[in-house]
Amino acid sequence: MKALAKTLREELGKQFVLDSPEELAVYDCDACTLIKKGPELVALPKTPEEVATVVNACNRAGVAYTARGAGTGLSGGALPLEGGVLIGLNRMNQILEIDAGNRTATVEVGVINASLNQQLKPYHLFYAPDPSSMAACTIGGNIAENAGGIHCIQYGVTTDHVLALQLVLPNGELTWVGSKNKKSNGPNLTGLIVGSEGTLGVITQAIVGLLPVPPKIKVYLAAFAEERHAGAAVSAIIKSGLKAVAVEFLDAFTLNAVNEAFNVGFPHDAQAVLLIELAGADWEVENDEARLRTILEEQQMTQLRVGETEAERLALWKSRKGTVAAYGRYMPAFYLHDCVIPRSQLVPVLEKIRNVAKDYDVLIGNVFHAGDGNLHPHIFFDPADKAMLQRALNAGEVILRHCLSIGGTLSGEHGIGIEKSHFMKLQFTEESLEKMHQLKSVFDPEHRCNPLKILPVRAGCAETRQGHTPQLLAQDGLWI
C-alpha cells in the first residue's frame, strides 16, 4: 500500500491521496451506520483519465477498489469491505453541458442532484429523480443505486432518465455505453450499469434526460383520522387512473416529530397524512383536482390543505424531506428497509409493522413513497444499547420477510449493498444468483471492483480471497 500510495501521489498530487488514520476515519461508513469498514487508502481523482489511472494502479498492485460519492447511501454499498483503495469522486463535480434543445445534460458524477436542478431553472427544465437526500447526494451515487424519490410514481427512477454513461471498466479501459439520442443498438448496457452499485465499473460521466417544468403544479396535504383510510385512499387514487405525480405517506409519529422539529403545522390529531402532487396544464390540474377531492372525501379525509405557490409547495416537500432530521430528536440511529409491496397491501402491511413494533419493543416511524408501494420503515435504536440493536435487526428481518411473502421486493431505491446481500436468497433462486455471479465475473474476473456487494458470498468464491465476509464485519456479531 505504501508503494501504491507513492505512485498515486505522483499521478494525482500529494494532497489528493489520503492515508492517515484521521483522514481515513471519515470514510468508515455511509448512511448505513450499522456496518463500518474503512479503506487503507483514499484517492481523489479530478478527471476520468485520473480515475482510469487509479484503477490501473490498483490492478497492477492486486488491490481492491471501491467508488464513493457523497456517502449518503443506506445499504453500505460504498464501503471498501476488502480494504484497498476508496476512489472518492466528489472533485468531479462539473456540469459539462446543458443541451436545452435536446433536453439533455452531460455531467460529471460528483455533481450534487439538487445543484443540477438549480442550474436548470433558467431553461424551465428539471432532472426528475429526487431522493430525499438530493441536497447532498451525487448523480453518480443515484446512478449506482438506481435512486427514485418522491416523484417516481409518475417519472420513474434513475434508469428511466440516463441516456449514456462514461465509465472505467475493471480492466482500466475508459469507455462510453449508451447514446445521447437513444438510438444505440445491441444490448442495453446503460441499463445494466445503472443500479449495479459500482460493481461493474467506476462511472465518471453521465448524459441524462431532462423534462420540461409543468405549467401548473399543486401539492395537497390530506389528513386522516385512521391509517387505514389513508392507505385506502392511495389504492383508490391508483385504481382511478388519476395522474398523480407524487403520493407520499407520513404516519402519526412522523407528523409529531416533524411538527416538533420544524413547526410546519401538520394536523396534531391526524393519524396519517398523504402529500399528493398534481402537475400539468391548467385544465388538467383543475380536472384532476376535482377527481382527487372526491376520492379523498370518499375515504373519510378530515382535512385538506393546498399548496399552490412555489413557496407553499416547497414548504410541504421540505417537511417531508426533513423527517430523518426530525427523527434524530428521538433516537441517535435507525435501521431502515425500503422493500416494495403491492399497493393494495399497504393497509395490512402497516398493521403488521405496528404489531412488529410491539412484539420487539422498538419504535418505528413510517414515511414512504405510497404511490409505488415503496415502504420506508425507520426502526430506531441506540447504538450503545446492544440488546435494542438486536431487537431492531430482528424486527427489520420480520418486516422484510413478510413483504417478500406477499409479492414484494428487497429494495426499491436504496440498493442491496452489504446490508441486504444475505437476504438475496429469499428473493432469487440459486440459479438466478449464479447467473448474476457469472455476469459480475465477465466484467470483473479478478473481483477487485467493489467486491462483496449485492450477491451472497459463495464458499470458495474468489471474492473471499482475503477472508472477509459480510457476517464477519458485523459489530459485536450482531449482523446476521
Calpha distance 371→149 (Å, rounded): 11
Label residue 5 by pLDDT band (50, 70, 90).
Answer: very high
Q: What is the pLDDT of residue 479?
A: 40
Using an 8 Å Cβ cutoff, are 381 and 389 in contact? yes
Residues 198-212 have pLDDT tens digits of: 999 999 999 999 999
Cell numbers given for 7:
505512485
- Residue 341's nearest CA partner among 278, 407, 286, 287 is 407
Cα-Cα-Cα-Cα torsion 187, 412, 316, 335, nearest 10 degrees, comes to -140
Residues 6+ apart with CB under 8 A from 205: 48, 92, 96, 106, 107, 108, 109, 165, 166
Q: Which residues pair with 205 in a beta bridge?
A: 108, 166
Residues 34-78 have pLDDT tens digits of: 888 999 999 999 999 999 999 999 999 999 999 999 999 999 999
Label residue 458 by pLDDT band (50, 70, 90).
Answer: low
Residues 141-176 have pLDDT tens digits of: 999 999 999 999 999 999 999 999 999 999 999 999
Q: What is the pLDDT of residue 33?
A: 84
Whole-number percent of the chain with pLDDT over 90: 85
**Highest mean pLDDT (candidates 315-329, 398-412, 446-460):** 398-412
Q: What is the pLDDT of residue 184?
A: 67
Question: What DSSP designation does 461 have?
Answer: -
Residue 480 has pLDDT above 50, yes or no: no
Calpha distance 203→200 (Å, rounded): 9
Mean pLDDT estimate for the chain? 92
Residues 6+ apart with CB under 8 A from 377: 336, 337, 353, 364, 365, 366, 368, 396, 399
Cell numbers given for 180:
445521447
> Where would I find the H helices in 306-429?
310-321, 323-327, 346-359, 386-405, 424-427
- Find the range with the poorest average confidence among 11-20, 180-189, 266-275: 180-189
Task: Over range 217-235, report the average pLDDT.
Answer: 95
Residues 388-428 have pLDDT tens digits of: 999 999 999 999 999 999 999 999 999 999 999 999 999 99
Residue 318 has pLDDT above 90, yes or no: no
Residue given cell 456517502 in the structure block: 71
Label residue 355 by pLDDT band (50, 70, 90).
Answer: very high
284-to-153, 191, 240, 290 alpha-carbon distances in Å: 18, 33, 15, 10
**Which one-letter amino acid corresponds to residue 379?**
I
Q: What is the pLDDT of residue 148?
A: 93
Q: What is the pLDDT of residue 264?
A: 82
Within a 10 A sphere around the Cβ of 480, how many other Cβ atoms? 12
Written as one string, the DSSP assignment of 87-115 is: EE-TT---EEEEETTTTEEEEETT-BHHH
Q: What is the pLDDT of residue 135?
A: 92
SS3 44: coil
Cell numbers given for 379:
426502526
Phi, psi (5° rounding) for residue 149?
Answer: 130, -175
Counting every residue, how long is the chain?
A: 480
Q: What is the pLDDT of residue 186?
A: 84
* pTM over cut 0.85: yes
**Which one-letter amino acid corresponds to residue 172?**
G
- Find the range with the poorest average confidence among 9-23, 118-132, 258-272, 461-475: 461-475
Using an 8 Å Cβ cutoff, are 70 and 142 in contact? no
